[in-house]
Amino acid sequence: MEVTISRQLASKWLKTNALLTNPYIARHIPSSRLFTPTNLRVMISRFGMVVVKPVCGAGGIGVIKVEKIGRAYKLTHKSNTRTFSSFDGLIRALNATRRKRAYLIQRGIHLARIGGRPIDYRVKYVKGNGMWTYRSMVGRLAKPGLFVTNLCRGGTQMTAAQGIRRSLSSKLVSAKKREMRQLTNAATTLLESRYPGVGHLGYDYGIDRNGHVWILEVNTRPQ
Ligand SMILES: Nc1ncnc2c1ncn2[C@@H]1O[C@H](COP(=O)(O)OP(=O)(O)O)[C@@H](O)[C@H]1O
Ligand SMILES: [Mg+2]
DSSP per position, 94-144: HHHHHTT--EEEEEPP-B-EETTEEEEEEEEEEEETTEEEEEEEEEEEPPT
User: What mean pLDDT is predicted for residues 117-141?
Assistant: 97
Q: How confident is the model at residue 222 (pLDDT cuts 50, 70, 90)?
A: low
pLDDT score of 4: 80
> Is 120 close to ligand 1, i.e. is its CB under 6 Å away?
yes
Strands (E), 11-48: 32-34
Q: Return the CATH architecture of domain 3-29+110-219.
A: 2-Layer Sandwich (3.30)
CA 69 to chain centre: 23
Taking 70 as the threshold, does the pLDDT of residue 124 lie above it?
yes
CB of 220 sitting under 6 A from ligand 1 = no
- Report the pLDDT averaged over residues 116-123: 98
Q: Does the pLDDT at position 214 exceed 50?
A: yes
| CATH 3.30.470.20 boundaries in the chain | 3-29+110-219
Contact 93, 82 (CB under 8 A): yes
**Cβ atoms of residues 137 and 155 within 8 Å:** no
Tell me the per-residue pLDDT of 169-195, one tens digit each, with 9 for 90 and over. 999 999 999 999 999 999 999 999 999
Please provide the average confidence, as pLDDT, over all residues in the chain.
96
Task: Determine contact, residues 18/191, Cβ cutoff 8 Å.
Answer: yes
- pLDDT confidence of 223, banded at 50, 70, 90? very low
CA torsion through residues 169, 170, 176, 177, sign:
positive
**pLDDT for 100-112, tens place per residue?**
899 999 999 999 9
The residue contributing the CA closest to ligand 1 atom 15 is: 60
The protein residue with its alpha carbon nearest to ligand 1, atom 18, reads 217
The average pLDDT across 28-52 equals 98
Average pLDDT (21-47) is 98
| Residues, CB within 5 angstroms of ligand 2 (ion) | 204, 217
4 vs 25, more confident = 25
Burial class (CB in 10 A: 0-12, 13-18, 19+), 132: middle
pLDDT, mean of residues 39-47: 98
Cα 218 to averaged position of ligand 2 atoms, centre (Å): 7
CATH tag, 32-107? 3.30.1490
Q: Once rounded to an integer, what is the mean pLDDT over residues 142-154? A: 98
Give the residue range(s) of CATH 3.30.1490 domains in the chain. Answer: 32-107
Cα of 46 from ligand 2 centre, angstroms: 24
For 7-11, 86-90, 150-154, 184-188, which range has the lowest pLDDT when averaged over its residues?
A: 7-11
Mean pLDDT of the region 215-223: 83
Under DSSP, is residue 186 helix (H, G, I), strand (E, B) or coil? helix
Q: How far is the CA of 59 from the centre of ligand 1 (A)?
A: 9
